[in-house]
Structure 1
Amino acid sequence: MRYPHQRKTAAANLQKKVSIVVPAFNEEKNLPVLIQGLRRVFDTQPYDYEFIFVDDGSKDDTARVLKTLNAQDGRIHYIKLSRNFGHQNALKAGLDFADGHCVICMDGDMQHPPELIPAFLSKWEEGYDIVYSRRTSTDDSSFFKRTTSNMFYALANRLSEINMEPGTADFRLIDRKVADALLQFKEIDPFLRGIIKWLGFSQYGINYTADPRFSGKSKYSFVKMIKFAFQGITSFSIRPLYFAVYLGFAFSTLTGICLPYVLYSYYMGNAIVGYASAGWASILMSVFFLGGLQLIIMGIIGIYVGKIFLQTKLRPNYVVESSSINQRQYDLVEF
């Protein structure tokens, strides 16, 4: 089978090549430290390598730092996006440009320890196509963040058609054939951790303890986390729509059951104690509750309609402003 957008890999080289993809948003202080850690790891590994940093519309000196590092070492590449397109799209940009025999994705805040990479590579050499990480704990994560994260995975697994383990994120290794499969996806707002789980292949999980951020603060606010959760759930299932239907049937049934009691209370109560003027508070609360429920259901439907609307526009996931690897050659690959 022939895929026109797949690129020539380093398959002709005797030495295997590893591509490291790192999305970066305002990480000017973290990047030099991360590169030092990555170099220490690969100095002990028998692999050629490249570091691909994707500047996702940073407002600090991240772009300048990356250009300086690229001038010092040709194996350090940068991709500067024209604006902030979001973590998942920045990650996809790096995957689109990577041409290693395998690709390792990680964050640029030092919470993904480079020291775990040899374990990734060891399992890859054993034959696993995807080696992913499971975060067990972190020193600077709050109880609220841990709780909401566990709630997200529980809800996502209940409502979607994939099973994601708690603590899994975007710190993983994928084989070349998995990266080539990802190139076929043209989804708007891709949820990569779900897509990679959906792809299948042979996968292996490794536990790790996240280090504190070296510098700066997390870019994921509570609002962004909620949006990310909705994005993940609605990307892989239409079960929320079925849930809305079931909820509507449940309330319709409940109304039918309660109707005889309401009629009896009205006629009998009105004749005895003037029931017609009583109970206005409960009626008002019922109207508010059902009105809010309707808005929730309409919102669920609206999310799916919005996804269809954005997908039909066929806009790119990202726009590259400048890059140190924009001259990389593409080729057709036979399967």
Structure 2
Amino acid sequence: MMSKLVSVIVPAYNEEASLLHLYEALKKLMESLPNYDWEILFINDGSKDKTLSIIESLYDTDKRIAYVDLSRNFGKEKAMLAGFDYCKGDCAVMIDADLQDPPYLIKDMLQYWEEGFEDVYAKRKDRGKEPWLRKKLSMMFYNMLDRSTRFEVLKNVGDFRLLDKKCIEALKQLRESERYTKGLFCWIGYKKREILFDRKDRAYGQTHWSFWQLAGLAIEGFTSFTTTPLRFATIIGCTTAFCAILYLIWTLIKVAFWGDPVAGFPTLISVILFLGAVQLIAIGILGEYIGRIFNEAKHRPTYLIENYKARRQ
């Protein structure tokens, strides 16, 4: 009976400081599980440091290594899609190169996979060293997205997970260019199982996610899976119009019954500024969705590759 092939997909962007440490951890894991065949698939996402040369040296020394070199930096979400497209395993494990997600958990993931679970995801009990505000905003985002969609959104869950081949095939069908993969994992369904763990602090290199990049990813999540912001803008508009009518009626009553003078310039400026702000918010929300339609309508490839190397046929 042939051994099952496990693919480990590692998106990497400027990770020269951590790649060798990750490889050593994965090597120990593979040696402890000799009943499986292994493929470590690195996705070089347009790195500008020595990441690619390190991957090439690992490829030359270990037959289990494969890699995809993207033509430029397309972002982690699209790099993961490249991993789905090129991995060959009966299952695939997504893991970041920074070692904040412990590779030894893959052993437990494989055990649950053998029991019949098709999506075994790692849920963080502790998010590690992270600013308090970022933690609160992250939880607020997950709660809002969960309440506005028709499927369950997993909270405190990243990309670290094992996916059965049928999940990989499902994700390969979803070719949108503006991607929020954490939501796609939930959207496809299948039989899921969680593993709890404490996320470590980043020991090598620096994070590539700024506050504004995370905010952009959050917007991608909303515009990908819910139209609630559009409905919210409609509600704000209706509420504002209703309040404006009430204010008009109240002003007329005061003038007719009490003879109060109407404050002209300050009232006018306040109303104009308020209505202008509401309109700009609504236009901004609408613009996010129109921009998404614009990008998807181009039908450009989600990513382009410079090189792909793998020994396994």
- TM-score range normalised by the length of the shorter chain: over 0.9
The answer to whether residue 20 in structure 2 is matched with residue 35 in structure 1 is no
Q: Distance in 2 between matches of 1:154 and 1:264?
A: 44
Q: For 2:73, what is the secondary structure of its paired residue? A: coil
Q: Contact 1:28/1:61 (CA < 8 Å) preserved in 2?
A: yes
The answer to whether residue 210 in structure 2 is matched with residue 225 in structure 1 is no
Q: Partner of 2:231 in structure 1?
A: 242
User: Quick one: structure 1 residues 263 and 85, their matched pair in 2 at CA, closer, same or farther if it must change by over 3 Å?
Assistant: same
The answer to whether residue 242 in structure 2 is matched with residue 253 in structure 1 is yes
Q: For 1:114, what is the secondary structure of its paired residue? A: coil
Q: For 2:307, what is the secondary structure of its paired residue? A: strand
1:321 maps to which of 279, 298, 306: 306
- CA offset digits 1:94-151 (Å, max 9, x no partner): 1110010000001111111101111111110110010011112133211112111111
Q: Contact 1:15/1:47 (CA < 8 Å) preserved in 2?
A: yes
Shift, 1:302, TM fit:
1.1
Shift, 1:282, TM fit:
4.8
Q: Distance in 1 between matches of 2:40 and 2:253?
A: 75
The answer to whether residue 2 in structure 2 is matched with residue 17 in structure 1 is no
2:288 maps to which of 285, 290, 303: 303
Q: Partner of 1:189 in structure 2?
A: 178
Q: Distance in 1 between matches of 2:22 and 2:267?
A: 59
TM-score, length-scaled by structure 2: 0.94
Q: Distance in 2 between matches of 1:182 and 1:214?
A: 31
Q: Partner of 1:62 in structure 2?
A: 51
The answer to whether residue 279 in structure 2 is matched with residue 291 in structure 1 is no
TM-score, length-scaled by structure 1: 0.88
Shift, 1:268, TM fit:
6.1
Q: For 1:306, what is the secondary structure of its paired residue? A: helix
Shift, 1:215, TM fit:
1.3
Shift, 1:42, TM fit:
1.6
Unaligned segments of structure 1, at least 5 residues? 1-12, 330-335
Q: Contact 2:178/2:296 (CA < 8 Å) preserved in 1?
A: no
Q: Contact 1:132/1:172 (CA < 8 Å) preserved in 2?
A: yes
Shift, 1:267, TM fit:
5.5
Q: Partner of 2:251 in structure 1?
A: 262
Q: Contact 1:162/1:194 (CA < 8 Å) preserved in 2?
A: no
Q: Partner of 2:39 in structure 1?
A: 50
Shift, 1:67, TM fit:
0.7
2:189 maps to which of 184, 190, 200: 200
User: Match of 1:311, as an amino acid?
Assistant: E
User: Quick one: structure 1 residues 328 and 306, their matched pair in 2 at CA, closer, same or farther if it must change by over 3 Å?
Assistant: farther
Q: Distance in 2 between matches of 1:33 and 1:328?
A: 24
Q: Contact 1:69/1:76 (CA < 8 Å) preserved in 2?
A: yes
The answer to whether residue 200 in structure 2 is matched with residue 211 in structure 1 is yes
Q: Distance in 1 between matches of 2:62 and 2:91?
A: 21
Q: Distance in 2 between matches of 1:292 and 1:161?
A: 30
Runs of 4+ in 1 over 6 A off after TM superposition: none
- CA offset digits 1:222-242 (Å, max 9, x no partner): 111111001011101222212
Q: For 1:59, what is the secondary structure of its paired residue? A: coil
User: Match of 1:263, as an amino acid?
Assistant: L
Q: For 2:104, what is the secondary structure of its paired residue? A: helix
Shift, 1:31, TM fit:
0.6
